[in-house]
Structures are given as structure tokens and as C-alpha cells.
A and B are shown apart, each in its own frame.
Chain A
């Protein structure tokens, strides 16, 4: 432990928002719930940073809920345990970090998009969602993943639907999300049930030990159901249909928060199950890795292509998110430390870019009222700070040097050259380049509208977004640049995290 006397640190990132969320409901509408949520996100962020440092220095931490750890002679703990290694410590820090920037940002945006009387319930739901995402990431128990996944999902459905004040399509988007998400969660539960039937345990590390060498039909089907279930929640390409509208019509702050965290947590779950639980010589794993290559590349192209033609910038960014999930799957599909590290790096970097982009669009929605391309015409003159923030984070999305996007793609290409997959590495690199070109087209379209299009004649003069929103957005924009120079932070942590994931997975460093 990094700081003596903090033995209970591992549980704090979940318990703090969990206790704080209900209290928010009782507050007076307006500033109080927002300030409270912001404070909670900052405190949580500090605890996750301490946790990350602790894991970095001392290796994986285990924490037994209720003290029900593994009794002598047992390979599995009796209760639920938290198992924190670098991979989930990184994702935890990312989620809490994004929250600690997006929550303060949310204030004006929420005041304009949500009924004033609903703000306490809104921030309660936001904190519950936050709790759920952290709980999914930190836990070492397969069923506990489901419970916290549903905590975050249920609150997300309600939050997405709050966009109905701007556009009723938020309601149908949210309903589709609910149906697909629930099917995904139920598939996940079926998968866990099959694994439980094959092993008798729910703890991830113990599952790994019990499953090792087993390759019967139950395990294969369980694996398929888990991957499909999470694939639905992740919006992996053929299962992505809920995502564009959900992100597009959700309130701005929610889009920014979800795009930067929710899918990232799902990628982490995939990593955890593929490498920690199933990380052994398992025929199905290779099938899945090959499928991920195909799905990843299909996603990169299909979604980027669709994004080019969207008229709504939020929807364009949502499709771009699906494309970026393709990059992450591609990294995973290499099945090597470099590949997984590249995937984790992109998880981190993409969260930074998408948060900044959606926050920028949120500023435009606040001032101009909608997010179609026509709202962005001449934006560089009307709202220069927002426009330039959008351009820089857009360049990061394309993968231009001096931004984190470049690091992501560089690492991904590097990893591609060091692996042997069904597709030759050179082709993969070319495909990554081509897909980045598509990204350049849609970001270029946005930049063109903002820089070169004239301000509409009849446009009312608008003010720049409030300071709070601009500052928080620019924190994210600058993070996009800063982490280009501080690669040892992200790349270092991600590489060691990938190492840890594959090591526990391949059976060397089991915790028990």
C-alpha cells in the first residue's frame, strides 16, 4: 500500500460515490447537487490515483469484501473480492479522471437542457452511473460485474432519455439501448452461468485456475455468450445499432461522459475475460481473436464511412466512436503484450479526445441550440475557443503528431508489425492509415465549416461558452497534447498493465 494506514483504500473508489449518490437526491435543485457531484468525483479521482500508485509500486492488490477471503486450502474466496492490477487501476483512474472534468463542465449544459426541478435526480443518476462503471472495473468477481454493469446501464438509460427535451428521438434511442443492453446483460449472465456450471466458482482468478485445460462445450458456449453479451454493450460492429442515436440525442454532458467512459469499461471487461479468465491455450480464444480482427477492421471502415455523411456532428462523433472501438479490438486481436498495450493506450487516449470533442459540441449546443453542421458554420469567428478546441481534439482523433492520437496509432502499427495474424501486418498498417484518412475527411469537413464557411447572415450574435465549460473543455484538449509528450505515463503504465494481464492470464502469476 502506498500510504500506510490506508488498508481500506481499494474499496473507497466505489464506496464514496455509492454513499454520495443517494444523498444527492435530497438536495435542493440547482447548484448544490452539481457541486456535490463534482466534489465526489474529485475525491474519487484522488483515491484512484493513490490506488494506481499503490499498484504501480507494490503490485496487484486484493481486497475481500466482508473479510470473506479465500480460506486455507481453498482456491476461491468465499465472498466477493476486488482484484486490482495495473489494467483496471488505469481504467479506474481514467473513468474517475474523466468524471472529475466532465462533472464540473456539466453545470450550464444541464441547466439549459434539463428541467431545473430534476437536477437532483439527474446528478443522482449520474453518480450512480459513475459508481457502476467503477464497480465493474474494480471487481474480481464475475457476477459482481453483472450487478454493477446493470447499475450503470439502468441509470444510463434514464440519463440518455433526458435528451427528450431537445429531441424526442432520445426516447426511442434510450429504449433501443435498454432492449439491446438488457439482452447483452442477459447473455452475459448466461455465459457466467455456463462457466459456473463448469467450474463451481465466480471469482475471476479462480475461474481461470479451474478452467485451465478444460475445453468442453459448456466453456466454449460460455465464452461465446460472454463475448457476445459484452459485445452488445460495447457496440462491437454488428451489434452497435443502439449507440449512434443514444450518444447523439443524450444531453451534451452525458454524451461526453459516456463516450469517454462507458465503452472503455466494456473494452476492459473484454480484456479481463479474454486474458485473465480464458487466458490459456483455448481453441476458442484464437477463433475470437481472429473474429476481432475482422470485426475491428470492419468497424473502422464501416463506421468511419458512415460518419463522413452524417449531418449531425454529435452523430458523426458517435459513429466515430464505433470506429475507434474497432481500433481497440484490433489491438486486442493481436493477442500480444504490444497489441493489448496499444489497445489500452487507445482506450486512454480516445477517452481524452472524445471527451474534448463532445464537450466542444456541448458548448455549441448550449449557445446555438443544436448540433447540425449548419450550427458550426463560421464558428471560429463566433466562438473561437470552442472552435479551436474542437479542431485540436479533432486532429488528435485523426492521429496527427503532437497529439495523443498519433501515439495510439503509432503503437498499434508497431504492434501489428510484431505479430502474425491472418492478415499480413503491412496490410493492417495500410488499413489503419486508410481509416485514419476517413477520419481526416469527416474532421476536415467539420474544420472546413468552422474555419472557412461564412457565419450565416441571419445568425444572432452568440457569446463564447461560459468560462467553466471552456476551461474544462480545454483541460481535456491540453491533455490531448500533454500526453503526447508524457508518453512514459500512458505507454509505461499500459505496457506493464498488458504484461500483467497476459501474465496472470497465461498462468504464471496467479494471485492465490
Chain B
């Protein structure tokens, strides 16, 4: 297990900055390049990196696979729910203006965009991880040694 020492130390060092970068990309999407998709993918990449260094089983302890379907659903419903909320408030689907109607400066639009981007981020991160878990967790038909 010492063979992967440098790799593992590097991954440990990188893990937190990657997550913080993902959060930055998530919430800075209004001002610079980036947004929910990119953030979600970067977030998933952090865990993929962890799995590569420590093995998929360790990663599954950090982020149990059972949580992921919930997060996927929450992500989609965050987005769709924002739309439904605007419907219930009496405006068209995804018309964010109604979320803060008195504001002169489109606070409604800002709230709406932040909410939906958050939904995108959660959904993409958890879905990408789900897909990765399923691939990485599948027993290969032919063991590595047999190739």
C-alpha cells in the first residue's frame, strides 16, 4: 500500500481545494465563467480522484451510494420546483420575477438563477457520481491479470 503514498498524499492535499473551487464556480457563475454544470462536474471529479487513490470502497464510506439518488432527485426538484413555485405564485413557468416582485432591481431573477444553478449543481454532481460508482463498482468480466 506504500506504493501509492505520494498519490494519496497529493489527493488528500488537493481534495479540499477542489471542493472549494467547485463551490466558487457554483456561486460565481453570475459573474464569471462557470455555473452549476461545471461546479457539479468538478465536485464529482474530487470524489473520482479520491476513489482512484483510495479505492472505491473508501469513497463509498465518505459519500454512501444510498444518498446519491436522493441528491439527484433533490437537484432536479430544486430546478423544477422553482418553476412550480413561480406557477403557484401566478406567473409563467420559470418566470423568476415573481419571486421578489417589488424589487426594482431584479432580485427575483437573481434568486431564481441562484436556485436553479444550485439545483443543476446538485443534480449533476450526484448523477455523475452515481454513474461513476456504478461503473467502478462493477466486477470486471476478465480480471486485470488475465489480459
Contacts and interface: CB of A to CB of B under 8 A. Distances in A.
Interface of A: 8, 11, 15, 18-19, 22-23, 25-26, 63-67
Contacts of A8: 87, 92-93
Contacts of B72: 22, 25
A154 to B, nearest CB: 12
Given A15-B80, A19-B77, A26 B94 contact: no
Interface in B80-98: 80-81, 83-84, 87, 91-97
Contacts of A11: 87, 92-93
Contacts of A66: 92-96
Interface residues of B, number: 18
For the complex of A and B, list the 4 residue pairs with the smallest distance between their C-beta atoms, beginning with the closest.
A67-B95, A22-B73, A66-B94, A22-B76
A433 B54 CA distance: 68
Interface in B55-114: 69-70, 72-73, 76-77, 80-81, 83-84, 87, 91-97
B101 to A, nearest CB: 12
Given A11-B93, A66-B93, A67-B95, A23 B84 contact: no
Contacts of A25: 69, 72-73
Which of A11, A18, A25, A66 has the most B CB atoms < 10 Å from its CB? Answer: A66
Contacts, number: 43
Interface of B: 69-70, 72-73, 76-77, 80-81, 83-84, 87, 91-97
A18 B73 CA distance: 11
Nearest to A63: B92
B92 A64 contact: yes
B92 A65 contact: yes
B93 A26 contact: no
A461 to B, nearest CB: 41
Contacts of B84: 15, 19
B131 to A, nearest CB: 12
B92 A67 contact: yes
B73 A65 contact: no
Given A8-B87, A65-B94, A67-B97, 17 more contacts: A8-B93, A11-B92, A15-B80, A19-B80, A19-B81, A19-B84, A22-B76, A22-B80, A25-B72, A26-B69, A26-B70, A26-B73, A63-B92, A64-B92, A66-B93, A66-B96, A67-B95
Contacts of B80: 15, 18-19, 22
A15 B83 contact: yes
Nearest to B93: A11
B91 A67 contact: yes
Contacts of A67: 91-92, 95, 97
A22 B68 CA distance: 13
Contacts of A23: 73, 77
A26 B96 CA distance: 28
Contacts of B95: 66-67
Which of B73, B96, B97 has the most A CB atoms < 10 Å from its CB? Answer: B73
B25 to A, nearest CB: 23
15 contacts: A8-B92, A8-B93, A15-B83, A15-B84, A15-B87, A19-B77, A19-B80, A23-B77, A25-B72, A25-B73, A26-B73, A65-B94, A67-B92, A67-B95, A67-B97
B77 A22 contact: yes
A25 B68 CA distance: 11
Nearest to A18: B80
A64 B70 CA distance: 31
A26 B94 CA distance: 25
Contacts of A22: 72-73, 76-77, 80
B129 to A, nearest CB: 15
A66 B91 CA distance: 8
B66 to A, nearest CB: 11
Nearest to B86: A66
B123 to A, nearest CB: 9
Nearest to B77: A22
A490 to B, nearest CB: 31
Contacts of B87: 8, 11, 15
A393 B16 CA distance: 63
A8 B70 CA distance: 29
A23 B84 CA distance: 15
B56 to A, nearest CB: 21
A26 B80 CA distance: 17
Nearest to B76: A22
A66 B96 CA distance: 7
A504 B93 CA distance: 26
Nearest to B94: A66
Nearest to B73: A22
Contacts of A18: 80
Nearest to A121: B69
B40 to A, nearest CB: 16
B32 to A, nearest CB: 23
Contacts of B81: 19
Nearest to A69: B92
A22 B70 CA distance: 9
Nearest to A66: B94
A47 B70 CA distance: 29
